[in-house]
Amino acid sequence: MTMKQIILTGGGTAGHVMVNLALIPLLQKEGYMIDYIGSIDGIEKELITPIEGVTYHAISTGKYRRYRSIDNLKDPFKVLNGIRQSVQLILKLKPSIIFSKGGFVSVPVLIAAKLTNTPAVIHESDLTPGLANKIAMPFAKRILVTFEKTLQYVDEKKARFIGAVVRPELFEGSKQRACEKLMFDPNQPIMLIMGGSTGSKHVNTFIRDHLDRLTKKYQVIHLTGKALSDETVINARYKQYEYVADDLKDLLMSADVIVSRAGANAIFEFLALKKPMILIPLSKKVSRGDQLLNAAVFKEAGFAKVIEEDELKEVQFFKTLAELEQEAPEMIKEMAKRDAKDAIFEVLKAIHTYEK
């Protein structure tokens, strides 16, 4: 039997790697040889290289910045180099298919897929496609989307709504394990704060400024983002971590309420675990506004309360928190009603359908 070969790509932020992390064990069970194309120093390298049986290849990548920068002129050359490297890798590895989760590293890989006539499938987690996926879409056979509304933004013939992919291990978390580790009382409420995979300085500052009031009621777990913890803040009912990998499942399971940015992967994880949430979407000033749309859909469905960044002030926050506490039982009921598709198997199905 000849083994099947697949190339996975995607990176830049952790959100762009999570679907691949969920996919790898399933592909390995089916006997695929897996190669991963990522950037030289992105988070994908950190998350993927420890996985046994997956070979990581770093290529040259460029990205478009929303502000004026000389790098915006230099980066097209890096992308060209990345395309050349990807073509060489594809010719050497001869994959039956390429699966891309998006992010800038995926653009040269998808162009190389087209140049070598290798089928490719893309997954988009946000309501509106990111720039990298937008550029890459013409080169893909299938575009899998998380939000039904996304269908109106992409080529209808190629797109398919499959719902969100949530890493299966997140369902195996334990509140007890979390409380033992944190030295928290399991009988008192726990609030988890997450500023996305990279953390949010804005949210971090707000939380620290109001910590005394928050910790009166809650034991607080704060995921601050890399290099954003502040060891001068000392409080027995407050624990901070910059980034949590394996233990995240326990921390999520232990939370009674979550306060978070509105990155697509994270919010669907909270939804799958039925966690009442307050979302503080990243504003349009510093992003394309994808989180505002993600958050609006969750609010409309009754899964979340939303505070816009400019409104993140003490009065507004604690008023919203009080409403959330009151509405939480109803919110959890709404979340339980939702027909959660097993989206990871839809991803596998698409891979099988389009591979050579």
Ligand X SMILES: CC(=O)N[C@H]1[C@@H](OP(=O)(O)OP(=O)(O)OC[C@H]2O[C@@H](n3ccc(=O)[nH]c3=O)[C@H](O)[C@@H]2O)O[C@H](CO)[C@@H](O)[C@@H]1O
Residues of this chain that bind ligand X (CB under 6 A): 13-16, 18, 125-126, 194, 196-198, 223, 243-244, 248, 263-266, 269, 282, 287, 290-291, 294
The residues facing 120 across adjacent strands are 98
Q: Minimal distance in Å, beta carbon 94 to ligand X? A: 30
Q: Minimal distance in Å, beta carbon 199 to ligand X? A: 8
| Choice between 91 and 340, CB closer to ligand X | 340
* Longest alpha-carbon distance in the chain: 65
88 is an annotated ligand-binding site residue: no
178 is an annotated ligand-binding site residue: no
287 is an annotated ligand-binding site residue: no
**DSSP structure class, residue 2:** P
| Choice between 9 and 85, CB closer to ligand X | 9
Q: What is the 3-state secondary structure (H, E, C) of 64-78?
A: CCCCCCCHHHHHHHH
Cβ-closest position to ligand X? 263
| Choice between 301 and 322, CB closer to ligand X | 301
232 is an annotated ligand-binding site residue: no
| Choice between 219 and 291, CB closer to ligand X | 291
Round the CA-based radius of gyration of the chain to a whole number and report it.
21
| Choice between 95 and 196, CB closer to ligand X | 196
Confirm if 223 and 243 have CB atoms less than 8 A apart.
yes
291 is an annotated ligand-binding site residue: yes
Q: Minimal distance in Å, beta carbon 56 to ligand X? A: 19
Q: Minimal distance in Å, beta carbon 5 to ligand X? A: 27
* Residue 94 CA neighbour count, 13 Å, CB half: 3
Spatial separation of the C-alpha atoms in residues 112 and 114, rounded to whole Å? 5
Spatial separation of the C-alpha atoms in residues 284 and 321, rounded to whole Å? 24
Q: Minimal distance in Å, beta carbon 332 to ligand X? A: 20
49 is an annotated ligand-binding site residue: no
Query: Which residue in the block uniquely carries the two structure tokens 């505070």?
Result: 307
The dihedrals phi and psi of 6, each to the nearest 5 degrees, come to: -130, 145
CA-angle at 117, arms to 114 and 123, nearest 5°: 55
| Choice between 95 and 195, CB closer to ligand X | 195
Q: Minimal distance in Å, beta carbon 265 to ligand X? A: 3
Confirm if 269 and 166 have CB atoms less than 8 A apart.
yes
Residue 8 identity: L
Query: Which residue in the block uniquely carries the two structure tokens 């009754």?
Result: 302
Annotated binding site for UDP-N-acetyl-alpha-D-glucosamine: 13-15, 167, 197, 291
Annotated binding site: 13-15, 167, 197, 291
